[in-house]
Structure 1
Amino acid sequence: MKLPVIKTIQKTCTPEQIETALEVLENISEAPSLKEPEIDVIGELISNLCGALEVHELVAGGMTEKDAGNTFMKKVLGSIDR
């Protein structure tokens, strides 16, 4: 997950666009011909899109974009520490 990528997606895409991209990537990820490196890239993209959706929700709830990004990353880092 990369916060600059998440912020760019969040600023330039609507939640509906992000959800559509997620559906496409999830379907593509099930193709039997994919190699492991390709699956890794798709997984990274899906993670960034999910992060952007969560940041969208935090902003819609009243947080600034900066605070929403920081809150999201703290949540991610907190889940890694466990």
Structure 2
Amino acid sequence: MKLPIIRKLYQAAPAEKLQATVEVLEAFCEMNVKDEEIDVAGELITNLCGAIEVHELVNSGMKESDALNTFSKKVLGSIDR
């Protein structure tokens, strides 16, 4: 999960388009694909889901920078556990 990528995804597309992309990648992973391809798709899905969450935070009234920081702290907090 990379915050600069999440920021770019958030800025580039609305949450609905990001969600549609997640669904396509999830369907791709269910096909007969190599483990390496699943790893790449999984990383993409993780970043897309992060951007969707940032959209949700901004829609709830947070500034973009605060939403990105909140999301980052949430991820780092879950890693520390």
Counterpart position of 2:6: 6
Output the TM-score relative to the length of structure 1: 0.95
What CA RMSD, in Å, does the superposition of the two structures yield over aligned residues?
Answer: 0.7
Helix, strand or coil: the match of 2:22?
A: helix
Inter-partner Cα distance in structure 1 for 2:51 and 2:35: 24
Inter-partner Cα distance in structure 1 for 2:24 and 2:35: 18
Task: Kindly provide the amino acid, as one letter, of the partner of residue 25 in structure 2.
Answer: L
Which runs of 5 or more structure 1 residues have no equivalent in the other structure?
Answer: none
Counterpart position of 1:24: 24
In the TM superposition, 1:1-82 aligns within 5 A as: 1-32=1-32, 34-82=33-81
Inter-partner Cα distance in structure 2 for 1:52 and 1:63: 14
Output the TM-score relative to the length of structure 2: 0.96
In the comparison of the two structures, how many residue pairs are matched?
81
Inter-partner Cα distance in structure 2 for 1:73 and 1:13: 20
Ranges of 4+ aligned residues in structure 1 off by more than 4 Å: none
Inter-partner Cα distance in structure 2 for 1:70 and 1:37: 30
Task: Kindly provide the amino acid, as one letter, of the partner of residue 26 in structure 2.
Answer: E
Helix, strand or coil: the match of 1:45?
A: helix
1:76 offset after TM fit, Å?
Answer: 0.5
Which runs of 5 or more structure 2 residues have no equivalent in the other structure?
Answer: none
Inter-partner Cα distance in structure 2 for 1:38 and 1:52: 21
Inter-partner Cα distance in structure 2 for 1:60 and 1:16: 13
